[in-house]
Amino acid sequence: MFAMLLFAATMSGEEGTASGKLTVGGKTTPLTHAYALARTDTFDKTKERVLVILSDVTIPEDTLWDQFPGLKMAMAGKLHAVEVEIDADKSVTAAGVVHEAFVETDGFLGTPYPNLEAKKFGGPIIEGKLSSVKPEQPQDKKIEYVVSFRAPLLHRPAPTATGAPAAQTAPGKVVLAFLKAFGWGDKAGIRKLLTAEYGKPLDGPNAKAILEAWKGRIDPATAPIDTVYITGNSGEVVMTPA
């Protein structure tokens, strides 16, 4: 599945509350915001998993449904959070921390599964407590947290467009233009469709390899744009190549 995020975030989703602290390499941050996001179970489409996010600031709605919510804010030092995925039987299936300390991994670091005390689960409210286990990281990046939380279970809003109409939306047209520019090796055209930050690699030592890697990767004439989500000033385009 191919997803592309465009534009900037402006809104926030319905959140809950958290009470606890996150410590990374000796730096402690209070965590006060909680989110519980329903996600389809990868291995059983009839079931849901819940992504619990415990952060120190509000996460804009435009980025709330990213794979790693708040990651860009974390890289800028504007957000610190614990993110834990829980399946239907209350087992933790993934865990990590977003924090500017992890520059080498773009702000995200997977961690050992924490202990979970689930008080409410499987209904409209998710409530419990997460406690990190014995840290495996060296002292300069050691991660520790104990956080209680309570949050409403959120489901992603319906997409703005699906099927053929999705390609005719503004984000859909931008993605198609992006694919064409890459297909032609048009560096100037690509720059117009990227922020300065995302365009930096085109000036680096790997620029030629990047352009070559994208050439012919997806044919814009048959680009399978399945779904488009537009929230505020942000758009996400989902493509599933055959």
pLDDT 10s digits, 83-131: 999 999 999 999 999 999 998 888 999 999 999 999 999 889 999 999 9
Q: Say which residues have a Cβ less than 8 Å from residue 28's Cβ, sequence separation at least 6.
A: 21, 22
Higher pLDDT, 12 or 37: 37
The pTM assigned to this predicted structure is: 0.77
State residue 196's pLDDT score. 80
Confidence of residue 29 (pLDDT cuts 50, 70, 90): very high
Q: Give residue 167's region: left, alpha or beta (phi > 0; psi -120 to 50).
A: alpha
Instruction: Report residue 67 as tokens.
Output: 């794979």
Query: How far, in Å, CA of 204 to CA of 15, rounded?
Result: 40
State residue 224's pLDDT score. 81
State residue 50's pLDDT score. 96
What sign has the CA pseudo-torsion 170, 189, 195, 209? positive
Residue appearing with tokens 């689960």: 121
For 203-223, give the DSSP string: GSTTHHHHHHHHTTSS-GGG-
The answer to whether residue 53 scores a pLDDT higher than 60 is yes
The answer to whether residue 27 scores a pLDDT higher than 90 is yes
CA distances from 226 to 1, 163, 222 (A): 10, 5, 12
State residue 139's pLDDT score. 60
- The three-state secondary structure class of 174 is helix
The answer to whether residue 209 scores a pLDDT higher than 90 is no
State residue 46's pLDDT score. 83
CA distances from 103 to 20, 68, 80, 99, 109 (A): 24, 15, 13, 8, 10
* Residue 104 buriedness (CB in 10 A; 0-12 / 13-18 / 19+): exposed
- Range with lowest mean pLDDT among 158-162, 199-203, 232-236, 238-242: 238-242
State residue 140's pLDDT score. 63
Rounded (10°) CA dihedral 3, 67, 17, 78: -90
The answer to whether residue 3 scores a pLDDT higher than 70 is no
Confidence of residue 8 (pLDDT cuts 50, 70, 90): very low
